[in-house]
Structure 1
Amino acid sequence: MVVPSLPPGPSGPTLHPAIGPPAKDVMRKAALDARKAFVRILSDAERAQLEQRLAEQLTSLCAEASVVGGYAPLGSEISPKLATEEARAVGRIVAYPAFDHPAKPFKFRAGDPLQPGPFGIMQPKKSAPVVVPDLILVPLIAIDGAGTRLGRGKGHYDRALISLRKSGARLVGVGWPMQRLAETIPADEWDVPLDAFVSPDGVEEFR
């Protein structure tokens, strides 16, 4: 696998303080703050209801896949667990991102995320088999109408998705409805555009 050289974070080099942070960093902070604020006002019952609706939207996508790449949600991220559990119940393999080394792209390993990885994200044990998903559920901070994803700025998904895109995997962003932005997210050359966005409100195809 050939991994392109990335600058320090997908937002590029930091600008001089007098100029201010790059527009993408400003957009990332605003979108993350908005997501946290949205989730903060949800009751447990409301959050569970929205995640149930998300699972209903994901059902047909997961049914068409053989190996589903999920993710262990952090903080205010919406959880796809109901959908991945349903996929496993009907015979699909479910895998999660797993780092063998923090400086290298993660791989997908089949199995439950039972131990913390190098960045505090739960991942399967190293003994779990490496698999190549044909459907990948991608967490995000925001996404626009072109499928450009705004992530945490570390480039972990961008590095991993390059080869997975080439393998034919379908890349589907997952989030709350308010994470779909009307404005355009600046795209860098290393950004991997997603094929669709799924929220409790429905599925939006980009390509």
Structure 2
Amino acid sequence: MITVAHRAGNTIAGLRDALEAGVDLVEADIHLYRGALEVRHSRTVGPHLYWERTTGVTRRRDVRVPELDEVLAAADGDPRLMLDLKGRSMPVAVRVAERLRERIPGVPVAVCTRHWPMLEAFGEDPQVRRIFSAGNRAEMARLRARLSGKRVDGVSIRLRLLSVSLVKELRRATDLVLAWPVDTEAALAQASAIGVTGVISKNMPMLDRLMRGRR
């Protein structure tokens, strides 16, 4: 079972802790805001505020938000980054692709997004693993049609959308079927039962146990 530390890459400390723990991939969420590639999950509310479902509204001046260059520097060439591109604007993908070529040329990295045209920006980069994500039924239906008879690097699917038969179908298109969020023992049991090949989780003790069991 592939282990992915959900959002751990959104802080430098979280990134380092997850890499030291030995997870297979560390996820970082990437937004393009006023020309900067910010690493955060929260959304902007005007020029001064962030909003997060779990934490509510926070002031930009009270939050330390790293940029992509800082995360790449902290990873120091480690190939276990998974960058989740947010938003629908193609410039996000174009800027990230440029940054990867400049900062870590040739270093393997995974790039994930629910807005699949963004993945085309990395078409010339063989070291980039392009992962198609789906978070609702409409996206899942479009993804199934897109994958028919094709092979892709990987998929990342909201757990509640998956079933045994659907995972079998997806595994005809890729060896990497990631489920999210998998933060509880019940969710892990469900993910295991339906046959996914990896889980995306904020539960680091659970990921550690998975890795120890695998070893």
Q: TM-score scaled to structure 2, two decimals?
A: 0.32
- Pick the structure with more helix per residue: 2
- Asked which structure has the greater RCO (Cα within 8 Å, sep 6+), the reply is 1
Name whichever structure is richer in strand by fraction. 2
TM-score, length-scaled by structure 1: 0.33
